[in-house]
């Protein structure tokens, strides 16, 4: 790539650097093949031209989301793009369809919540920002559309985030697949819950990661035909078995061993364990503990995870017994035995561990010892037992430990799969492969050899896929690619696994010879592959070898190759553990047919590894692959650190550089025609003359510049490697010449501007000097004129001053003289007046004093005499008044009392007679007699009580005698005589009063007895009346039936009865109540004339007639019968019919079900907004009428119910009738339109169902509008692209106008608004529809702005802002009645777009952004917009780095505190109104002028609608 580059002074290039891999700089000098470069780090270096790479100066500062869009696809360009995106927390980047994920080592919850999954659902690959959800969605869509199983390969070194990426993929697949639930938990949860178990037994600490997976995991998510998850399975591959016995420092063995050693004391004692340092399999390394990890807690968590996945306590105990037994096996040491070449346990410690292992395995100790120290060889004639030497016995021990651990791990995987639940009948699957990446350390042993073999095989699969993708791209663009060669790594794979003659084959061969050592094995490799280009021998080593892998050279040390590769399947081990008394252990080693012979078959880990690898590749070959390459940015595992060399090495190990190499073998640079013309149109501006499209212009441009080997596709221009650099060099030359011309013109302009300024300055100076001289001469002339004026005025002033002094003196003297004379006269007049006043006052006082003395003496004398006379008369009057006045008043009162008592006795006698007569009539007619008796009783009682109170007041009242001045003595004597007569009369009256009181007490006693009898009779009447009411309620249901049916009867008896029932509408009383009681009486009395048979016929006829009425109503309202005075006719007609039929008060009725079915069938056509709006208007109006009319039976207060319970007494009924006649007449106007009724359960249920239908219809109209807007919003978020070169030629290739899409949205809003207005939908519902629709517009536009980088541009902000102005204009035209607060719902997109179109963003502080510009946006949203922003018009910068740093700090704090940090908005699909909102928005009087349906008015059965 670098070889074809044209080096020009001033060009930007990339230069190799030993510290950061690559550093950018500017070319200062070019000396043949050597160039001098000034680096941005400040250093100046001289390098060869062939070793530098060109740098794209126009790449956005935040990088590109797909690296195939880079102008230069090479190592430094890829590395710089990843770094720039990593700095702004954009951790995902595409390379074609390969996703590169850089581990941020921090929580970024906003990238993985449900909002983000919703955005990626169904989106085209590459449309939104790179994300694992996009890869999972693409795999799922391909599986559904093409019917092909998919696989997603997640690779990377330890700590790169493979496991987390796998979890994200499974979350999204569970989200798309419906989250199939198994035993109350989803499949995703089941798989994730198995991770702690698999990590405990399959993960270990390595050099680079504390929790490295030492096995490959292939998670199969199984789907049925509909794409719903039906099951899952976990397939494990390539477990690193040798780690059980050999561990390198500073690594650790598998976690489960250390967990068990740190288990609770009782567990440790049960398994006879101790410190990990005391076990041979663990103390080969000095690392026993992990920083920040508590093995004791991890042990408890692992046991809990085992419970979750369905492993019983017995099985858990057996699992950890096997793990403990493996540890004890490792501590068994061997020495030479008594026999030749024999072995035996070394000491008591070894014997202890041997016995403990046998106890844990539940097998015989002797049999375990023999299986480790002996071998049985079967020959044709006999069986030979052979002793093993101590070294062979240790190998046998290690083989047993490895095979037991391997079988245990396989059992755990099978158990987890059975717990998750597999679907053998699944149609498709999506597999997620999580496997260790390429490894290269200072010391590389057999494990690294196997791991790198795996990555070589996967890289071959990856290369084939990449080349296939390249072919598909070329085929789609219809260009010739037949001559492009594809370089594969098949030679490396043949070197390792070819049979015979490969490294693995030679290793197996060496393992089968007892005398072979690692040195002999190494020599064999040297001899066999001395001429192989991929195999080399290090100069200073006798046993190492180096293989040139795709990711670089790796040197392997062969010291442990033979030991780690040996994996004997010993028959004695099989028989021993199969005979275990523990069913779990024996189940791990079932007897197979091929293993029944007592022979030890050789098996190598390398061969088994190769077989499993082949099986994995066969599985992957049957699926469509997708790739995620995980990268660890630094070895410190800390955020915000990007180690260039480390990342570059991982990119090589992950095959990304290999994919770039394959791409560079063809056409690495692919530019869309518009971008190509924009960038290189200045090389030949004449190519735009007369051209009609960009393709022609692009072809003429390439021909003009003279490039060879390029290809023109359907949408892109394809350039060979180096051609982009050549074009950029020519472009730099043109720009350089243009810069020289611009500089020349600028210098000329500056010089001319200086000359003009000097000339103007000279003119200004001359004019200033001449002006100064003229001003001086003028000042002198003014001074002379001023002197003359001053002299004249001064002389005048002196003369006037002297005259004024003389004049003022004369006036002062005259004024003084006249004033003195006037004051003297005034003083004399005042003295005279004062003397006169004093004399008059003195005389008046003396006369008044004398008069007052005389008057006081006369009054005193008169008062004394009159008082004496008055006191004398008063004494006389008091004596006379006491004797005559009191007697006269008492006489009058007693006479009145006598008359009252006499009248009361006569009234009591009449009452007794009436009560006796009422009692005799009670037996004949119970109800009428009871009413009369109660009335008489209450009247009597009230009168008696009233008279009793009156009598008491009169008796207790003390007469008050006023003092009167009496002077008539004759009257006094007359009163005295009358007093004597009254005294005699009072005595006689007192006797009569006593007799009357006795008679009254006797009558009162008799009345109380009769009252008691009346109360008993009344209770009996209440019981009878209750029974009668129940019978009347039964007859009330068919009351109206009888009224109509009697009209149809023929005969004299029926004609007589029809006179009372011919009126279709019941008569009303004056108080508005129906004559229900009278009709009931008519029905009970006259119904006796009909026999049972005729009644049943009439009842059936009435039911049929009622059904016909309901059918007529439904058939009528099913049609669009329009509106009356702005209100729906259908709703009002239904309400009137239900009210008349008394359906609201019925315990059981089918009318409501019929109406609900009718509404449900009417709204089946959900696409017709006009039809839906008509029914929304009707249902909402009917719901309003029901809300105002219905009253539940349990409610209290409010208006009286229509049918009050009848009082039992006559007096009570009279009182109730009086009250109702007055109150109902007053309340009558409120019931003209809507009348409250006591609703039964069916009516209340109908109201609830109607409410649900109103909400459903509302949601349908709103969602229809959202669907219509969604297709338009995707076009409105991004401004139409226009080529710069084309604009220079005065042409435009864009066919879409700038506002056509926004105008389509306005048209949609107007169309729906007209529809809603025509159907008189309540304004409150219209407001809610548009408010939620504008909120939807806000969510879609804002989320697209945050997810698509091409939308965060200056020009796009202007485009969206113009569209928002159209929406604002629409809101103003629609008015608040219908638009409501819709414009406020766009606050997020308004503020974000307002920020995009601001110039000089780098001058704005963070406080200004958050407080003034974008107060509604969160830190995450602002950070996203600021980092994605780029100016495609003026190339202006985004906000300053300080603002970005402040936002990043706040985001880090918020990520630790907030529950959810999603920067995306969520669309609200709830119902934003209630029934009360509808009630408050309408009034009953609005329905006062509504006319029912004309069709029903012609029907005789609906004549009640005329009212």
Residues 920, 924: Cα–Cα separation, whole Å:
8
Strands 216-223 and 212-213: unpaired
Length of the chain: 1507
Round to the nearest angstrom and report the end-to-end CA distance of the chain: 95
**Is residue 1397 exposed (0-12), middle (13-18) or buried (19+ Cβ within 10 Å)?**
middle
CA distances from 533 to 493, 495, 500, 504 (A): 13, 10, 19, 18
Q: Which residues contact 1049 (CB under 8 A, 6 or more apart)?
A: 1057, 1058
Q: What is the 3-state secondary structure (H, E, C) of 469-481?
A: HHHHHHHHHCCCC
Does the annotation mark 1455 as catalytic? no
Determine the distance from the C-alpha atom of residue 595 to the mean position of all C-alpha atoms in its chain, rounded to a whole number.
Answer: 60
Catalytic residue among 68, 84, 212, 253: 212
Give the residue ranges of the annotated binding site. Answer: 156-163
Among the listed residues 209, 455, 489, 1331, the single catalytic one is: 209
Q: Which residue has the tokens 């001395």?
A: 530
For 927-952, the DSSP string reads HHHHHHHHHHHHHHHHHHHHHHHHHH
The yes-or-no answer on residue 212 being catalytic is yes
Q: Which of 25, 63, 77, 159 is catalytic?
A: 159
Which of 7, 68, 158, 940 does the annotation list as catalytic?
Answer: 158
Catalytic residue, chosen from 80, 199, 298, 439, is: 439
- Give the three-state DSSP class for 54: strand
Distance CA 606, CA 566 (A): 9
Catalytic residue among 11, 84, 89, 213: 213
Catalytic pick among 437, 502, 681, 722: 437
Query: Which residue blocks in 282-389 are alpha helix, DSSP H?
Result: 295-308, 313-330, 348-361, 365-373
Q: Tell me the DSSP string of 440-454.
A: --SS--HHHHHHHHH
d(CA 457, CA 618): 11
Angle among Cα 173, 228, 169 to the nearest 5 degrees reads 5
| Long-range pairs for 478-483: beta carbons < 8 A, 24 or more residues apart | 478/713, 478/714, 479/667, 479/711, 479/712, 479/713, 479/718, 480/711, 481/666
439 among known catalytic residues: yes
Which stretches within 1429-1463 are classed as H helix? 1441-1457
On the question of a cis peptide bond just before residue 500, with omega within 30 degrees of 0, the verdict is: yes
Query: Hey, what long-range contacts does 790-797 have (CB within 8 A, 24 or more apart)?
Result: none
Q: What is the helix (H) or strand (E) element at residue 556, kind and residue range?
A: strand 552-557
Q: What is the DSSP letter of 828?
A: H
Residue ranges for the known binding site for ATP are: 156-163
Q: What is the spatial distance between Cα 692 and Cα 1008, in angstroms, rounded to a whole number?
A: 119
Helix (H) or strand (E) holding 552: strand 552-557
Sheet bearing 711-712, strands edge to edge: 669-672, 716-719, 711-712
Cβ atoms of 65 and 130 within 8 Å: the answer is: yes
Backbone angles phi, psi at 1219, to 5 degrees: -65, -40
**Rounded (to 5) percent helix, strand, coil in the chain:** 65, 10, 30
Query: What is the residue-wise DSSP string for 731-761?
Result: HHHHHHHHHHHHHHHHHHHHHHHHHHHHHHH
Torsion of the alpha carbons at 150, 155, 160 and 163, rounded to the nearest 10: 50
Distance from C-alpha of 1457 to C-alpha of 759, rounded to nearest angstrom: 69
Asked if 179 contacts 186 with a C-beta cutoff of 8 angstroms, the reply is yes
Residue 570: helix, strand or coil by DSSP?
Answer: coil
Dihedral-angle region of residue 589 (phi above 0 means left; psi in -120 to 50 means alpha; beta otherwise)? beta
Q: At what angle do helices 75-87 and 656-665 cross, to 10 degrees?
A: 130
* Active site annotation includes 209: yes
213 is catalytic: yes
- Residues identified as active-site: 158-159, 163, 209, 212-213, 437, 439
């Amino acid at each position: 790539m670098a070889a074809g580059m044209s080096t020009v002074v001033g060009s930007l290039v990339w230069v190799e650097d030993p510290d950061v891999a690559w550093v950018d700089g500017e070319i200062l000098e070019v000396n043949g093949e050597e160039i001098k470069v000034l680096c941005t780090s400040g250093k100046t270096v001289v390098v060869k031209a062939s070793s530098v790479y060109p740098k794209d100066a126009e790449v956005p500062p935040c990088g590109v989301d797909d690296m195939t869009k880079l102008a230069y696809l090479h190592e430094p360009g890829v590395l710089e793009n990843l770094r720039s995106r990593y700095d702004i927390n954009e951790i995902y980047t595409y390379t074609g369809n390969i996703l590169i994920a850089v581990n941020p080592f921090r929580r970024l919850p906003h990238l993985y919540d449900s909002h983000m999954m919703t955005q990626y659902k169904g989106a085209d690959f590459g449309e939104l920002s790179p994300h694992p959800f996009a890869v999972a969605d693409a795999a799922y869509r391909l599986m559904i559309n093409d019917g092909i199983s998919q696989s997603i390969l997640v690779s990377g070194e330890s700590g790169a985030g493979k496991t987390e990426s796998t979890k994200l993929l499974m979350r999204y697949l569970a989200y798309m697949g419906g989250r199939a639930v198994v035993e109350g938990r989803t499949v995703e949860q089941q798989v994730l819950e198995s991770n702690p178990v698999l990590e405990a037994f399959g993960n270990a600490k390595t050099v680079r990661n504390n929790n490295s997976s030492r096995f490959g995991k292939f998670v199969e998510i199984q789907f049925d035909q509909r794409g719903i998850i039906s099951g899952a399975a976990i397939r494990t591959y390539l477990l690193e078995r040798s780690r059980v016995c050999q561990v390198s420092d500073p690594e650790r063995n598998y976690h489960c061993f250390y967990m068990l050693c740190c288990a609770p004391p009782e567990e440790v004692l049960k398994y006879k364990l101790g410190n990990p340092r005391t076990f041979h399999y663990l103390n080969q390394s000095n690392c026993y503990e992990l920083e920040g990890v508590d093995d004791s807690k991890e042990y408890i968590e692992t046991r809990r995870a085992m419970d979750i996945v369905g492993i019983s306590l017995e099985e858990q105990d057996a699992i950890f017994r096997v793990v403990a037994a493996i540890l004890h096996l490792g501590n068994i040491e061997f020495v030479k035995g008594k026999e030749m070449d024999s072995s035996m346990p070394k000491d008591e410690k070894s014997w202890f561990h041997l016995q403990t292992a046998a106890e844990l395995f539940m097998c015989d100790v002797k049999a375990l010892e023999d299986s480790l120290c002996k071998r049985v060889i079967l020959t044709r004639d006999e069986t030979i037992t052979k002793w093993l030497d101590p070294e062979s016995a240790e190998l046998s021990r290690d083989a047993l430990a490895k095979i037991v651990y391997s079988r245990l791990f396989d059992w755990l995987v099978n158990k987890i799969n059975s717990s998750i639940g597999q679907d053998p009948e699944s149609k498709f699957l999506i597999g997620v492969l999580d496997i260790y990446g390429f490894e290269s350390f200072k010391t590389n042993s057999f494990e690294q050899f196997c791991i790198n073999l795996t990555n070589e095989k996967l890289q071959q699969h990856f290369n084939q896929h990449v080349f296939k993708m390249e072919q598909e791209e070329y085929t789609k663009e219809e260009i010739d690619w037949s001559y492009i060669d594809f370089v594969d790594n098949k030679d490396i794979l043949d070197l390792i696994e070819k049979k015979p003659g490969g490294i693995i084959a030679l290793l197996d061969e060496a393992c089968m010879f007892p005398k072979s050592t690692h040195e002999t094995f190494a020599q064999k490799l040297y001899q066999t592959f001395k001429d192989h280009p991929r195999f080399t021998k290090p100069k200073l080593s006798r046993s190492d070898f180096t293989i040139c892998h795709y990711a670089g050279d790796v040197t392997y040390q062969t010291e442990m190759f033979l030991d780690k590769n040996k994996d004997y399947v010993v028959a004695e081990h099989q028989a021993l553990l199969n005979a275990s008394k523990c069913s779990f252990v024996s189940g791990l080693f079932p007897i197979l047919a091929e293993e029944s012979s007592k022979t030890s078959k050789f098996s190598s880990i390398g061969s088994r590894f190769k077989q499993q690898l082949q099986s994995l590749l066969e599985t992957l070959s049957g699926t469509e692959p997708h790739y995620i390459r995980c990268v660890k940015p630094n070895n410190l595992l800390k955020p915000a650190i990007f180690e260039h060399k480390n990342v570059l090495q991982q990119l090589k190990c992950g095959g990304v550089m290999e994919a770039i190499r394959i791409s560079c073998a063809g056409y690495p640079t692919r530019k869309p025609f518009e971008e190509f013309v924009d960038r290189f149109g200045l090389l030949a501006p004449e190519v735009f003359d007369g051209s009609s499209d960009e393709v022609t212009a692009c072809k003429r441009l390439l021909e003009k510049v003279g490039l060879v080997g390029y290809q023109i596709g359907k949408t892109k221009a394809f350039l060979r490697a180096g051609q982009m650099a050549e074009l950029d060099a020519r472009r730099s030359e043109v720009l350089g010449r243009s810069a020289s011309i611009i500089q020349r013109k600028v210098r000329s302009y500056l010089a001319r501007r200086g000359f003009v300024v000097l000339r103007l300055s000279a003119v200004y100076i001359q004019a200033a000097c001449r002006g100064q001289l003229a001003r001086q001469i003028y000042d002198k002339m003014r001074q002379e004129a001023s002197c003359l004026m001053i002299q004249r005025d001064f002389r005048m002033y002196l003369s006037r001053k002297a005259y004024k002094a003389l004049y003022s003196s004369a006036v002062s003297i005259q004024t003084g003289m006249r004033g003195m004379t006037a004051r003297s006269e005034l003083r004399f007049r005042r003295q005279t007046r004062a003397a006169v006043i004093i004399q008059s006052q003195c005389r008046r006082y003396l006369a008044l004093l004398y008069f007052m003395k005389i008057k006081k003496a006369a009054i005193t004398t008169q008062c004394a005499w009159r008082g004496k006379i008055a006191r004398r008369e008063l004494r006389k009057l008091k004596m006379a008044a006491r004797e005559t006045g009191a007697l006269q008043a008492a006489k009058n009162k007693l006479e009145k009392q006598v008359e009252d008592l006499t009248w009361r006795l006569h009234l009591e006698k009449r009452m007794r007679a009436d009560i006796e007569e009422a009692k005799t009539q009670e037996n004949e007619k119970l109800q009428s007699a009871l009413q009369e008796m109660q009335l008489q009783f209450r009247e009597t009682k009230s009168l008696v009580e009233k008279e009793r109170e009156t009598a008491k007041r009169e008796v207790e009242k003390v007469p008050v005698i006023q003092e009167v001045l009496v002077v008539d003595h004759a009257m006094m004597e007359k009163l005295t005589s009358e007093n004597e007569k009254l005294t005699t009369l009072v005595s006689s009256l007192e006797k009569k009063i006593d007799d009357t009181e006795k008679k009254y007490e006797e009558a009162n006693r008799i009345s109380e007895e009769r009252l008691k009898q009346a109360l008993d009779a009344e209770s009996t009447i209440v019981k009878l009346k209750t029974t009668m009411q129940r019978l009347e309620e039964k007859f009330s249901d068919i009351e109206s039936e009888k009224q109509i049916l009697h009209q149809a009867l023929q005969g004299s008896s029926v004609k007589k009865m029809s006179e009372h029932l011919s009126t279709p509408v019941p008569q009303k009383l004056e108080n508005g109540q129906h004559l229900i009681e009278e009709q009931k009486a008519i029905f009970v009395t006259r119904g006796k004339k009909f026999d049972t048979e005729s009644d049943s016929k009439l009842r059936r006829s009435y039911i049929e007639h009622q059904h016909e009425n309901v059918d007529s109503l439904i058939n009528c309202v099913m049609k669009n019968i329009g509106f009356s005075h702005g209100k729906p006719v259908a709703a009002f007609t239904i309400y009137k019919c239900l009210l008349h039929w008394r359906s609201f008060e019925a315990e059981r009725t089918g009318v409501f079900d019929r109406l609900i079915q009718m509404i449900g069938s009417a709204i089946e056509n959900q696409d017709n907004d006009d039809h839906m709006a008509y029914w929304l208007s009707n249902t909402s109006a009917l719901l309003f009428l029901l809300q105002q009319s219905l009253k539940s039976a349990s409610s209290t207060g409010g208006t009286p119910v229509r049918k009050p319970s009848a009082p039992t007494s006559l007096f009570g009924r009279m009182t109730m009738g009086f009250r109702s006649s007055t109150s109902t007449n007053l309340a009558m106007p409120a019931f003209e339109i809507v009348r409250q009724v006591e609703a039964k359960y069916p009516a209340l249920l109908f109201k609830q169902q109607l409410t649900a239908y109103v909400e459903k219809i509302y949601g349908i109209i709103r969602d229809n509008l959202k669907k219509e807007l969604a297709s338009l919003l995707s076009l409105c978020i991004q401004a139409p692209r226009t080529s710069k070169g084309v604009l220079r030629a005065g042409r435009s290739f864009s066919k879409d106008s700038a506002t056509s899409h926004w105008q389509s949205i306005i048209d949609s809003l107007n169309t729906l608004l007209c529809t809603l207005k025509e159907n008189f939908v309540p304004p409150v519902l219209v407001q809610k529809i548009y408010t939620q629709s504008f909120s939807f517009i806000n969510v879609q536009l804002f989320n697209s702005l945050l997810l698509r980088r091409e939308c965060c541009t200056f020009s796009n902000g202007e485009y969206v802002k113009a569209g928002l102005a159209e929406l604002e204009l629409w809101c103003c035209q629609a008015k608040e009645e219908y638009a409501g607060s819709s414009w406020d719902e766009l606050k997020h997109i308004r503020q974000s777009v307002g920020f995009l179109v601001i110039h000089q963003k780098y001058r704005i502080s963070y406080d200004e952004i958050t407080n003034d510009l974008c107060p509604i946006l969160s830190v995450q949203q602002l950070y996203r917009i600021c980092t994605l922003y780029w100016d495609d018009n003026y190339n202006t910068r985004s906000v300053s780095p300080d603002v970005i740093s402040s936002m990043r700090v706040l985001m880090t704090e918020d990520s630790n505190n907030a529950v959810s940090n999603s920067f995306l908005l969520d669309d609200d699909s709830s119902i934003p109104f209630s029934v009360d909102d509808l009630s408050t928005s309408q009034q009953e009087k609005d329905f006062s002028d509504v006319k029912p349906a004309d069709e029903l008015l012609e029907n005789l059965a609906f004549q009640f609608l005329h009212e």
